[in-house]
Structure 1
């Protein structure tokens, strides 16, 4: 957290973003639940239509080495869908990237562009593409690749009518992303905190749906709660982001 980071209520954030629709990207099931689930739950309650995209099924995660990758993928998707119901997320979409080996490839960026043009979100949430050296666990290579693919898609690919022309042929025309909310950012990049007081229990409840991922659930709850308290810096709970305005009313493309 930086002292310059603005703190907003969910209502203020929704108004600032003009957030009728939000599209959230995570590399694995539970990623977004750790980083931004209280904010998404609060926005959903304010009337924002939230869609979650998972790049992988998370089949390389968990602690049961006797379970097949296919079974792990099935379980983790079910866990994420259950968590999404807790948060008020409308839909969970699963892409087919390989867990542990995500790369911001031409094909993946094209899939992200396709989803952006399909859903036409007012705000896009994803990981930060820069590594956070303060806590390596927040900078999994798949997270960084997810962030890089989303940022590359947000500018310029999604708004470039010459990029992925096959999408335009399918009726998915270019349009401009306005806002990016990037989680897991290095401290010096954080410029927004969202006061999620009243939604902290919803976050914990969503995380608790990911049964396969918590060897010590009590410790997880304590860590996440302490983190929200620290980010708030007062007597409430907050989540933090690097808020990037990709296209403001006065933005000139290419400058």
Structure 2
């Protein structure tokens, strides 16, 4: 099984803001969900700073963006949503955040976790990666290993019934050094539709933008459209143990 054909039985997608997941892995989520993967979205912040409207309030924007995220995830087949409610723009790599993410990993017990590549500070010559994105990726990795795995870390989670869990694979989106490409030719339209569910942030031109990006990523691997990842296999199993292809 190649990386482009892989479908985990369950996946937790951890991002900083509403709409991040659709940019990062919307085509992959749609592909996995259609094949039976139970996908859960974890959105860390309220996305309550992304407006230039002088009449907009943080409270109203947070409500709008949660509704947009639920609509977008539904287009892709996402089954579960968790909104942690941290303030947008101020995210820090705290122990509180790591405990919150470890709790959700133990709650949903995902085979795979998808998040940002925290090492990729510059996504292009025109975009500096948002600090919340990098923090989200960093803390998610710390929550995956070793926190969610180790029984004696945050013992209060045991009291609440959240037993330790070992994530088998991690997929880092927008990677600095990709080693896996998911073929999203069949789900690119769904990715575009999902992004258009975020009108408070995005205009119709976003569809052409993500199409061009997916086509460029795919061309590098002989695919019509793709999403790149840095994939880590932390715990092999009899069904999903094929290593990702090299660069």
Q: Return closer, same or farther for 1:107/1:193 CA change in 2, 3 Å cut-off.
A: same
Q: Deviation above 3 Å: which 4+ runs of structure 1?
A: 6-9
* TM-score normalised over the length of structure 2: 0.90
- How far the C-alpha of 1:131 sits from its partner, in A, is 2.6
Could you say what the CA RMSD is over the residues aligned between the two structures, in angstroms? 1.7
Alignment-derived partner of residue 204 in structure 2: 217
Alignment-derived partner of residue 168 in structure 1: 158
**Which runs of 5 or more structure 2 residues have no equivalent in the other structure?**
238-247
- How far the C-alpha of 1:217 sits from its partner, in A, is 2.2
**Separation (CA, whole Å) in 2 of partners of 1:88 and 1:149:** 26
Bigger Cα displacement from structure 2, 132-141 vs 198-207: 132-141
**Separation (CA, whole Å) in 2 of partners of 1:54 and 1:213:** 16
Secondary structure in 1 matching 2:70: helix
Alignment-derived partner of residue 13 in structure 1: 6
Secondary structure in 1 matching 2:185: coil
1:248 aligns with 2:209: no
Q: 2:44 aligns with which of 42, 50, 55?
A: 55
Secondary structure in 2 matching 1:213: coil
- How far the C-alpha of 1:134 sits from its partner, in A, is 4.3
- How far the C-alpha of 1:235 sits from its partner, in A, is 5.4
Secondary structure in 2 matching 1:53: strand
Q: Return closer, same or farther for 1:61/1:158 CA change in 2, 3 Å cut-off.
A: same
Alignment-derived partner of residue 94 in structure 1: 83
**Which runs of 5 or more structure 1 residues have no equivalent in the other structure?**
1-5, 250-255
1:230 aligns with 2:216: yes
Judge conservation of contact 1:54–1:95 (CA < 8 Å) in 2.
yes
Alignment-derived partner of residue 151 in structure 1: 141
- How far the C-alpha of 1:50 sits from its partner, in A, is 0.4
**Separation (CA, whole Å) in 1 of partners of 2:55 and 2:182:** 40
* TM-score normalised over the length of structure 1: 0.88
Compare the two structures and name the one with the higher helix fraction.
Answer: 1
